[in-house]
Amino acid sequence: MASTSSNPTVGRDASSKLKSMKLLEVLNALEEEGPSHRREEIFIAPPDNASGDFTDEDSGDEDGQRGSHVPGSVLHASVVPEDSGTEKEDDDLQPPPAMKRQKAVVEPQRVWIKRDIQPSFRSWTPSDPHIEDLKSQELSPVGLFELFFDEGTINFIVNETNRYAWQKNVNLGLTAQELKCVLGILILSGYISYPRRRMFWETSPDSHHHLVADAIRRDRFELIFSYLHFADNNELDESDRFAKVRPLIVRMNCNFQKHAPLEEFYSFGESMCEYFGHRGSKQLPAGKPMRLGYKIWCGTTSRGYLVWFEPSQGTLFTKSDRGLDLGGSMVVKFVDALQERGCLPYHIFFDKVFTSVKLMSILRKKGVKATGTVREYRTERCPLKDPKELKKMKRGSFDYKVDESEEIIVCRWHDSSVVNICSNAVGIEPVELTSHHSGIAKTRTQVHQPSLVKLYQEKVGGVSRMDQNIAKYKVKIRGMKWYSSFIGYVIDAALNNAWQLHRICSHDAQVDLLAFRRYVACVYLESNADMSSQGRRSRRLETESRFDMIGHWIVHQDKRTRCALCHSQTNTRCEKCQKGVHAKCFREYHIR
């Protein structure tokens, strides 16, 4: 199953035909259009037989390449149209496509009046004792990453992988130490990538990577990676297309929410986990900027910490509730997850894909603030000035009305284009002046900006910030399973969250995202290296990054060992070097 977001061939006019269209037909139509600089996005879900053994080897092994082939199971899947919100602004002012008549509950018509909103929410006062506790622990980057990939999660993956290998009559014998080596290589591939992943182990001087080669043997890595598994195939929910990774999703969501910063402002939106299928006879249309992948519903903080996520399975497999569309239902699920930490006056920001007056009403009853851009046909006939009339007025002009019974405001504001914004918590006042660029005059002009517009622009970008962080150094190694790219996405999201916590907890010794990833990768590969042979042990000493002055942290250890410098007993060690070192010897030990 798939859905397209910016394809005129499968746009609103053809929505009635899309139910019977296949992905192959959509790709053919895109190919016939000829060259285009417009980016196309096609959202897909796992194959129809995603819960079967066949899909364990579905997409081919890319060896880190950007594959251009799509497997037949995906090519012949049905295309499901979804309102993804990437149409032109003019389309926002058009009514939705005509639907078959259905019996609907008649709701009372809203009374809109011209005044500012008068919200009755509590003010935000909660403190965050969990973050204060993390600050006191002074966790290293590895310690922060292991808040999410904790011991329970590692052991769970080890057990499920060994179970799956046993079901295939293979005695894998995977250990937690080896799994951490595999994770370290996947993390390292985000900033060091080769056309073929086996080049990490080649003896050629232009490609050999000592850190990887000394950590785990090539064939052992390939064997473990090919059997990596996250669920028991005998107990899969056939109605869930993501059943094979559902236990991992549940664990990650639990850990993400457990350690999330307690903040007032959150952002909700769509993210994409790119899919790189390599099998099948059909290539993606050449010359077109196209992304093919899984849609992920994401709720983040305003800084980009991922609090909650859920892969989209389309409207055929996810039932909406409360009279909302699919996007609105996902927002409500995110709010329910937030309120597990307490029914606090959170403020959620989202775009026109999700916003409706009905959603604002539901969130208001839950005690949650919300603000978002909205399409005109979702404003429930709010009588605002016509967009064409507003465009003739000077920039910064606006009109607004409030639902008298539920205190929901809809504002239409003229900037470079006409924008509709809806909120149940923020009003017009105070109106401030802001500097905007004028394309005609090629100067910056002062325009009036209502309060809800200003706050929306400041707080809505959390999902985009997370996407930006993930895209910088995302895992490049992918395997033959259809969900291998999704696993890389989860690892990248966990690293992003760990780095966000590092920025909050370590004001004096902050490192950037690249240095943070490098530290985690190096520690995992050096600390969990295969020391079974003398040759590997000697090479291990040569590659030890004792003097690189990057990411060395002193941590407490339960068992006393000898200090690597003065050789007396100590209960502290360097986490990266995995050597016992006194605090007084720490600096001298790491300087040549």
Q: Where are the domains of the chain?
A: 129-235+477-528, 260-472, 547-590
What pLDDT, in 10s, does the model give residues 483-525? 889 999 999 999 999 999 999 998 777 889 999 999 999 999 9
Give the pLDDT of residue 69.
57
Q: Is 491 helix (H, G, I), strand (E, B) or coil?
A: helix
- In terms of average pLDDT, the best of 109-113, 207-211, 371-375 is 371-375
**Which residue, 576, 265, 586, 270, is CA-closest to 426?**
265
pLDDT of 7 higher than 90: no
Query: With bands split at pLDDT 50, 70 and 90, how would you rate the model's confidence at 84?
Result: very low
pLDDT of 65 higher than 80: no
Give the pLDDT of residue 183.
97
pLDDT of 423 higher than 60: yes
Give the pLDDT of residue 229.
94
Tokens matching residue 189: 């591939």
Give the pLDDT of residue 320.
64
Please give the DSSP secondary-structure letter assigned to residue 241.
T
Using an 8 Å Cβ cutoff, are 412 and 89 in contact? no
CA-to-CA dists, residue 572 to 166, 252, 264, 564, angstroms: 40, 31, 39, 11
If you average pLDDT over every residue of the chain, what do you get? Answer: 82
Give the pLDDT of residue 542.
39
The pTM (predicted TM-score) of the whole model is 0.81
**Which residue, 45, 46, 47, 5, is CA-closest to 26?**
5
**Side chain identity at residue 139, one-letter code:** L
pLDDT of 61 higher than 90: no
Taking the CA atoms of residue 354, residue 357, residue 359 and residue 363 in that order, the dihedral angle to the nearest 10 degrees is 130
Report the b/e string of 118-148 with b at 16+ CB within 10 A. eeeeeeeeeeeeebeebeeeebbbbbbbbbb
What pLDDT, in 10s, does the model give residues 169-192? 999 999 999 999 999 999 999 999
Which H or E element spans position 271?
Answer: strand 265-274
Which position has the higher pLDDT, 453 or 74?
453
Q: How many CB atoms lie within 10 A of CB 586?
A: 17
- How far, in whole angstroms, is CA 143 from its chain's centroid? 21
pLDDT of 41 higher than 90: no
d(CA 75, CA 45): 11
Phi/psi region, residue 304 (left: phi>0; alpha: psi -120 to 50; beta: rest), is: left
Phi/psi region, residue 377 (left: phi>0; alpha: psi -120 to 50; beta: rest), is: alpha
What's the rounded mean pLDDT across residues 256-261? 96
Give the pLDDT of residue 530.
76
What's the rounded mean pLDDT across residues 391-411? 91
d(CA 316, CA 558): 53
What pLDDT, in 10s, does the model give residues 135-151? 998 888 999 999 999 99
Which position has the higher pLDDT, 313 or 221?
221
Q: What share of the chain is helix, strand, coil (3-state, %, to 5)?
A: 35, 15, 45
**Which residue, 360, 361, 362, 368, is CA-closest to 343?**
368
Tokens matching residue 369: 């603030």
What's the rounded mean pLDDT across residues 438-451? 79
Handedness of CA 109, 111, 116, 122 (dihedral sign): negative
What pLDDT, in 10s, does the model give residues 318-374? 666 667 888 899 999 999 999 998 889 999 999 999 999 999 999 999 999 999 999
pLDDT of 40 higher than 50: yes
Using an 8 Å Cβ cutoff, are 494 and 299 in contact? no
